Every structure is written in structure tokens, then in C-alpha cells.
Amino acid sequence: MKTRDLVLTALFAAIIVVLGVIPPVQLGFIPVPIHAQSLGVMLAGVILGAKRGALAVLLFLLVAAIGLPVLSGGRGGLGVFVAPPAGYLVGFVPAAYVAGLVSERLVRAGQSGGRQIAEFFVAAALGGIVIDHLLGIVWLAQSTGMGFSKAFLGDLAFVPGDVLKAAIAALAARAVMVGYPLLPQRV
């Protein structure tokens, strides 16, 4: 891994941390907060690509695991990885990887801007919504005993916000692709 890759990985881990400063919103019917850090996961995947995006998220989770309060609401430590939202946190790594992998396969430099944005959106949504929510629902259902159907219905409250985050990630990825041609390839 080159120095530039390490710097970009650390930068996106820091972006995810900064997004945790935005206070989480607790919902009364599900023990998982709405937060902005999943936007950082989508951004890491679509901008950095599969490998570096997943490494950035892994670095972020490592910092959280050692106890630094980098998660939304100032949480950190190993205890967060056994709490009801743990499936979503662990799902961040494959979410970034899938978002990066899909964007690497779909988005090309010669495409129109609209098509690039649409394909970045598909990549961010597949990783950040489908993959992350799937892992989150499974863990939530198992850890709380609420059952898969209740966990799934509770999870639906997150989908509109995450669709908006995927759109923001797509627009940001397109802007980076156009504005920073010196950024190394996402692969």
C-alpha cells in the first residue's frame, strides 16, 4: 500500500468520525439511532473503492473498539459491538466494500455525468442500504429477541434517510471524480 493510499484511508476514517459529531436521533420503537456516519461509509466506498473504503471503515471501527468516543453520541469501546446496533456497525465494512466494488465496476470516466451519478447512487445504495441493513436487521432480531419481521419493520424507518445519504454520496463521488483527477483510481 502506498503512502497516498494510507493517507486517503485515514482521511476517510476521520470523515466518518467527524460525521459522528452530529447528534444521533433516538427512535422510541427500535433501539438503534439515526446517525450520519453511514454517509461516511458510503462515501468511503464510492470514492476510495472497495479495498481502501473497507480499510477506512475498519480503521474507524478499530478506533471505536479501543474505546475512543468516535461513534455518534460519543460512544466507543468493545461494548458497542454487542449492543443492538452492533450489526449495523459491523455491516459498515462489507457495506463500504460492496459500494466500492459496484462503483468500480459501473462507473467509467467516459460516461455522462448523469449516468455516473446514477451508478454511484446504485453502488452507495447497494452497499450502504441493502448490505448494511441486512446485517443490522439480523443482529437486531437476534440480540433483542424481537424477531426478524419486527426488526425489519423497525428498520424501514431508516430507509428514507439512507436513500438521501446515498444521493449525497453519489453527488460527492461525481464531484470528486471530476474535480480531483489526481486522486488515484478507486481500485
**Contacts of the segment 164-169: beta carbons below 8 A, 24+ positions apart:** 165/36, 165/38, 165/39, 165/42, 165/124, 165/128, 166/42, 166/121, 166/124, 166/125, 166/128, 166/129, 167/121, 168/39, 169/39, 169/42, 169/43, 169/46, 169/99, 169/120, 169/121, 169/124, 169/128
The most confident of the ranges 12-16, 28-32, 105-109 is 12-16
Q: Is residue 102 part of a domain?
A: yes
- What pLDDT is attached to residue 161? 96
Q: Is residue 167 part of a domain?
A: yes
- The grid cell for 129 is 442500504
Q: Is residue 59 part of a domain?
A: yes
Q: Is residue 125 part of a domain?
A: yes
Which CATH number covers residue 51? 1.10.1760.20
Across-strand partners of 43? Answer: none
180 pLDDT tier (thresholds 50, 70, 90): confident
- What value does the mean pLDDT take over residues 151-175? 96
Q: Is residue 90 part of a domain?
A: yes
Domain residues for the domain of 142 are 3-179
- Name the least confident of 74-88, 155-169, 170-184: 170-184
Per-residue b or e along 12-45, where b marks 16 or more CB atoms closer than 10 Å to that residue's CB? bbbbbbebbeeebeeeeebebbbbbbbbbbbbbb
Q: Is residue 186 part of a domain?
A: no
Q: Convert the pLDDT of each residue in 70-120 to its tens digit.
A: 999 999 999 999 999 999 999 999 999 999 999 999 998 889 999 999 999
Q: Is residue 43 part of a domain?
A: yes
Which pTM was predicted?
Answer: 0.94
Could you tell me which of 171, 166, 168 has the C-alpha nearest to residue 114? 171
Domains contained in the chain, number: 1
Per cent of the chain over pLDDT 70 is 96
Q: Is residue 185 part of a domain?
A: no
64 pLDDT tier (thresholds 50, 70, 90): very high
